Structure 1
């Protein structure tokens, strides 16, 4: 992390020595300057002067990293442990009478919530461009998100969950998530990969902490109080986190929030959007069905399922930082491609038909590889499209990711079908032959692996298209 701020200090010293020319000359890359100048010509039309950019302080950068870490700790951490809720809601002990054994319908609750987290960018980013005090957007999001969790504790029917833990939670989490995620990249001129890796590492730590805590709350107090405690705690932490975020002073226009037709119809954008859809759909399946695989196929107790989910999240957290550091050295697109391809390989080669020891290995390996895409997507968007187009492209790509998340796990639930839960092998034998149940999970695993492999091919093609557009090939990109 010290490397990030050392670079900022060197740039500040340099700016004091060189007062000739606009300050952005030292701030933006060549691609960013081109995009920025183009946007200024479009928006002002009367002046060619470039607005001075106020350089961020070390203190604010540290505070932004810390706030972003805790924000993703909540939003992505809670999203990633929905599999524990799914295991409970579909079990015989469920408090939702029409959820018992309904994997596809219950998975849809979680995927709507996490999908709206991403898809909400389509209205949150334009809102941010029009409102100076973005703290209010983030604060309102934390409140709505917490109300959704708290209200879900009173649910007795599936449609109650759709209104609360899906829609209310999803809309609120999006408003809480995007102010920091959209603004943070422009506060770091170099080593953006590392900075975003630190912020997104909070999601892995969130899963690591929340998974076992949630299981204890469920076992000791029941699902109703578990949801209430989670909602209250989310808002208590979200309040100070929301107060940190702000637009970067003097950063010219805040970035276009409307996509221009030329960009949307480019092959680079189309394949990047397709990759986002496929990766989100494939990536959410292991997260949601890890716990149920432990219980239904491997006959582990639920506590073991939550433990393995926590291990996966913890490894994922370290991986996001490591991937960010690696990306700054060998190229962000290169690292992103490797992460998606290896995550697909781990699903197909390690999870498929996995016994207990092999499944533990998969839990660790998938945690290592799957974090790369999520950590590096914002930085690759900035690299390919420039800072000024970041808001519009990022908003739409995450909207597409949300659609992928909504579709992935419920289709996997249809593949899996309905079956009882329990760690008792006799229960399994009485309702469905164990071999048939394992085969259904293997079909689900193939579905997830193929989606991830297709996403890997798409991001590889985007890498080639970007190099062709620049007119030169570079091994580091």
Structure 2
């Protein structure tokens, strides 16, 4: 028993005045007491690695709008002769491929056998994409480097900790994954400020190079921290897509919910600053709205993750999806200054938690044995969704979005996407109820 935190389960004698606190304390200690010490530390290290990967991968991706503004600047922009929609292809392809190439995650891990090798390859490819972009002049060159090469590399860096981390934990999966995915919001906030400062001081070419070297450092640190949980095996015989999984209505519902949620999730973040301008907010205030939304997003991934572990992870993801949808229709669609601020806050509270809860719900619903294959498939669907969301929403914006009403159709489209996602999650919850006869069970044990 030397590899355990305690040699036997801890029992705490409660008194009537501290019954609830002692009960929770006993529950936590008992949970820890049955997990080997090395597994706890290795799991925490993997979560930290995931936080760092989210910080750098999506910090750079989600702050691409700063580069877009610079690239299309009518005075000095290197891509000033191209339309905004064409220049946006650089950033959207990077984000989409981060998810889409997750379908190869299992094969890459099986071939290289350890996560750090896959992550190192991804880290180098990401940085190479950024550094090579600093030598580009034509838009197709930017798409190939800052878009495609960056996106493929970021997928290989990002996916291993996402696959490995939740399998280290039992009761507190959602809380730990909330911390892991909080790196996205923190990174998007920090990297936007860093990128804007670099562009003003050293110009766009050296900004890309500095970000490339920063990515190398953070990515290599993250790759050294990732561990493989017990029982997770990477087989070279596994198919990239196991079509037998697609015969399950529950799997189809989950994948569909992921696709539609991904399509709708990023739309408010892309157009938040420009929409704020139509309400007479300045460009600086619009940028701060995005930053505040990302910080709230990061904080509540952790808070809601902890609550989900207590009340049910599948229950919580449905609630968050529904409230995100409601905020689109009830707050963003109204189009007034005060209500828009409320939307920025509340959308940040509920929307991000959905992403951190999706992997834990996969384990709860389908078991650890199916988790790796279904995670890769889920992120592939999220990549497809990201290509269907923002580009179509952009086409629905009238007259280049100069007034509030120009965004009405795009906002409705956004709300419909999230509504469909919520319905599919509800269908999945109902199917679990039919299978088990239990509706209010906190979490499905595996």
Alignment TM-score > 0.5, same fold: yes
Tell me, yes or no, if structure 1 residue 472 matches structure 2 residue 438. yes
Out of 259, 263, 267, the position equivalent to 1:277 is 259
| Secondary structure, aligned partner of 1:56 | helix
Aligned mates of 2:282, 2:133 — CA distance in 1: 25
Would you say 1:80 and 2:80 are equivalent positions?
Answer: no
Aligned to 1:287: 269
Q: Deviations over 1:291-320 (max 9, x none)?
A: 22234x234443323222111110000010
Distance 1:220 1:281, change over 3 A: same
Does 2:99 align with 1:99? Answer: no
Query: Partner residue of 1:443?
Result: 409
Q: Which runs of 5+ in 2 are unaligned?
A: 11-34
8 Å contact from structure 2 (residues 46, 164) kept in 1: no
User: Quick one: structure 1 residues 86 and 443, their matched pair in 2 at CA, closer, same or farther if it must change by over 3 Å?
Assistant: farther
Which residue pairs with 2:301 in the alignment?
Answer: 320
2:137 matched to 1:171? no
- What is the alpha-carbon distance in structure 2 between the residues aligned to residue 346 and residue 218 of structure 1? 34
Aligned-pair distance for 1:395? 0.5
- 1:463 lines up with 2:440 in the alignment: no
1:353 Cα deviation after fit: 4.5
**CA distance in structure 2 between the aligned counterparts of 1:83 and 1:343, rounded to whole angstroms:** 23
Preserved CA contact (<8 Å) 2:131 2:208 = yes
- Give the superposition deviation at 1:227: 2.2
Distance 2:238 2:380 in 1: 13
Contact 1:342 1:369 in 2 (8 A): yes
Write the distance in 2 (CA, Å) between the matches of 1:131 and 1:72: 22
Give how far 1:414 is off: 1.6
Q: Measured at CA, do residues 86 and 80 of structure 1 come closer, stay the same or move farther in structure 2, by a change above 3 Å? A: same
1:215 aligns with 2:181: no
Mapped partners of 2:314, 2:164: distance in 1: 21
The Cα shift of 1:14 comes to 5.6
- Find the counterpart in structure 1 of residue 246 from structure 2: 264
| Counterpart Cα distance in 2 of 1:418 and 1:111 | 22
CA distance in 2, matches of 1:407, 1:272: 18
Q: Which secondary structure does the structure 2 equivalent of 1:113 belong to?
A: helix
Query: Is the CA contact (8 Å cut-off) linking 1:87 and 1:292 kept in structure 2?
Result: no
Structure 2 residue corresponding to 1:368, chosen from 343, 346, 349 = 349
Number of the residue aligned with 1:229: 210
Partners in 2 of 1:208 and 1:63 — Cα distance?
A: 23
Could you tell me whether the CA contact under 8 Å between 1:208 and 1:313 is conserved in 2? yes
Pairs within 5 Å for 1:83-232: 83-93=65-75, 94-100=77-83, 102-103=84-85, 105-232=86-213
Give the Cα separation in 1 of the matches to 2:399 and 2:128: 31
Retained in 1: the 8 A contact 2:332–2:339? yes
Q: Is the 8 A contact 2:178 2:301 kept in 1?
A: yes
Counterparts of 2:328 and 2:202, CA distance in 1: 35
After superposition, the CA RMSD in angstroms is 2.4
Shift of 1:193: 0.8
Contact 1:201–1:316 (8 Å) recurs in 2? yes
Match of 1:67 in 2: 49
Shift of 1:156: 2.8
Instruction: Tell me which residue corresponds to 2:375.
Output: 394
Match of 1:39 in 2: none
| Cα pair 2:397 2:408 within 8 Å, conserved | no
Displacement of 1:475: 4.8
Q: Deviations along 1:424-461, whole A, 9 cap, x unmatched?
A: xxxxxxxx9x5xx4222122111111111111111111
**Equivalent residue in structure 2 for 1:404, among 385, 393, 407:** 385
What is the rounded CA distance, in whole Å, between the counterparts of 1:313 and 1:77 in structure 2?
Answer: 10
- Corresponding residue of 1:19: none
CA distance in 1 between counterparts of 2:131 and 2:283 reads: 23
Using the TM superposition, name which of 357-366 and 460-469 deviates more.
357-366
Please tell me whether the aligned partners of residues 120 and 171 of structure 1 are also in contact (alpha carbons under 8 angstroms): yes
Cα distance in 1, alignment partners of residues 102 and 326 from structure 2: 30
Q: Under a length normalisation based on structure 1, what TM-score does the superposition of the two structures give?
A: 0.81
Aligned to 1:454, what secondary structure does the other structure show?
Answer: helix
Q: Secondary structure at the match of 1:472?
A: coil
Partners of 2:214 and 2:379 in 1: how far apart?
A: 27
SS in 1 for 2:90: helix
Structure 1 residue ranges without an equivalent (≥5): 1-7, 16-52, 420-431
Tell me how many residue pairs correspond in the alignment: 413
Query: Residues 108 and 406 of structure 1 are in contact (CA less than 8 Å); yes or no, is this contact kept in structure 2?
Result: no
Q: What SS is found at the alignment partner of 1:243? A: helix
